[in-house]
């Protein structure tokens, strides 16, 4: 990472990971200011939760040295299978030993926990799965932040976790800020014209109407049940 070399952001993909979890971060890191995002998987094509096929740049064996490990979230099928995928977990364990930062966004936190890397730190995840993550708090000595933070960075452990999906943009930009400073972060923000001004204000349960949150919680009951089942395997 010395001199003019780019900081390599390695994003290990898996089937049924969420597109914006890694595409949003990729957009931030791909701005021409010293970072290089790469997608990694041993499968030739990865299909996201949105049904979008994407092509990784590298396999686990031939990828370059990673400076930032960024694990995306996904649905319960994708996350659950990856929590039990020793090839994927071993890759996380290996590269985490030498990264500048490592972490996750959304439900990627559960994969990070399954690898044994998510320990002794602040942590968050997708809003509806925060209670599920709390089940792991004692085992992994996690401090689960109150509310619905867009991201959390633990300076001591050099571990980050992000909220759901669109949080990948804010989390990636925060990492740019921490590593490259305010000017580069501002240049990056302007480069991608990231000035969010949504037409509604219902992005987490602290802002959404109670009835809207209740509807989505009901719709996600099967998702939550499946995630709790995977967490119980770790316990």
The span from the CA of 180 to the CA of 202, in Å, is 32
Q: What angle do CA 45, 46, 49 make, to 5 degrees?
A: 150
**What is the phi-psi region of residue 173: left when phi exceeds 0, alpha when psi lies from -120 to 50, beta otherwise?**
alpha
Three-state DSSP class for 58?
A: strand
Which conformational region is residue 221 in: left (phi greater than 0), alpha (psi within -120 to 50 degrees), or beta?
alpha
- CB of 178 closer than 8 Å to CB of 153: yes
Q: Is 17 a catalytic residue?
A: no
Give the chain's count of helices (H) and strands (E). Answer: 10, 10
Q: Kind of pairing, strands 159-162 and 151-154?
A: antiparallel
Task: List C-alpha distances in Å: 228 to 15, 131, 153, 235.
Answer: 20, 9, 25, 10
* CB-facing half-sphere around the CA of 60: CA atoms within 13 A: 16
- Selecting among 17, 63, 106, 121, the annotated active-site residue is 106
Q: Yes or no: say if 81 and 14 are a contact pair by the CB < 8 Å rule.
A: yes
Which positions are catalytic? 106
């Amino acid at each position: 990472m010395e001199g003019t070399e780019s900081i390599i952001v390695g994003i290990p993909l898996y089937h049924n990971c969420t597109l914006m979890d890694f595409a949003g971060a990729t957009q931030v890191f791909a701005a021409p200011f010293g970072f290089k995002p790469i997608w990694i998987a041993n499968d030739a094509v990865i299909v996201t939760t949105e049904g979008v096929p994407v092509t990784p740049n590298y396999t686990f064996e031939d990828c370059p040295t990673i400076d930032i490990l960024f694990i995306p979230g996904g649905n319960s099928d994708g996350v659950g299978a990856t929590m039990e995928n020793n090839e994927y977990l071993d890759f996380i364990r290996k590269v985490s030993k030498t990264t500048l930062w490592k972490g996750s966004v959304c439900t990627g936190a559960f994969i990070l926990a399954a690898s044994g890397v998510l320990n002794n730190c602040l942590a968050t995840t997708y809003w509806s799965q925060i209670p599920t993550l709390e089940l792991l708090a004692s085992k992994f000595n996690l401090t689960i932040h109150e509310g619905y933070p867009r991201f959390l960075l633990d300076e001591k452990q050099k571990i980050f976790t992000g909220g759901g999906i669109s949080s990948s943009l804010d989390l990636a930009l925060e990492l740019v800020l921490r590593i490259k400073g305010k000017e580069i972060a501002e240049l990056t923000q302007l480069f991608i014209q990231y000035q969010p001004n949504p037409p509604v204000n219902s992005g987490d349960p602290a802002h959404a109407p109670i009835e809207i949150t209740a509807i989505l919680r009901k719709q996600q009951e099967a998702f939550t049940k499946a995630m709790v089942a995977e967490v119980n395997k770790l316990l």
